[in-house]
Amino acid sequence: MTQREFFTAIVNGTINADIQAYAADAIVKLDKRNATRASKPTKSQQANVPLLAEIRTFLTGKKNVLAAEVAAHLDVTPQKASGLLKLLVDGGEATAAEVKVPKQGKRKAYTLVDTEDTAEDTEEAEDTAED
């Protein structure tokens, strides 16, 4: 069955076993194609990988860094830096907090999550829970 025949049958209101089978097969193909597409990073995601690594390096040992500071360091727009920082926050690699900036008001500032401290805190919490 062709797509034209399928859509013509739908328009005419003729739904039979062949139409249902064709539709079910088309859904399976769509799911497979979407799964394949989702498993591959896009060109922009691939281009962001080195920028994310550079942001991690820049944030190491610093607290409450503004997106504008990261943008100036990377030589990108503040919007691009903010988007990349949001990816790090969503991935659990950084935290965002509101800070007051003189003459600008409240702004989001980012800090890299220290994985060693987090692991030690978790172990301490588990030890305390056992007691």
Residue 114: what pLDDT? 79
Measured in residues, the chain has a length of 131
Tens of pLDDT, residues 60-98: 888 889 999 999 999 999 999 999 999 999 989 999 999
Residue 77: what pLDDT? 94
Please report the beta strands in 1-131, taking only residues with DSSP state E, as ranges in sequence order.
65-66, 94-101, 105-112
Residue 38: what pLDDT? 84
pTM: 0.60
pLDDT lower than 70: segments of the chain: 115-131
- Please name which of 51, 81, 47, 44 lies closest in space to residue 66, comparing C-alpha atoms: 81
Residue 115: what pLDDT? 62
What is d(CA 111, CA 4) in angstroms, rounded to the nearest whole number?
56
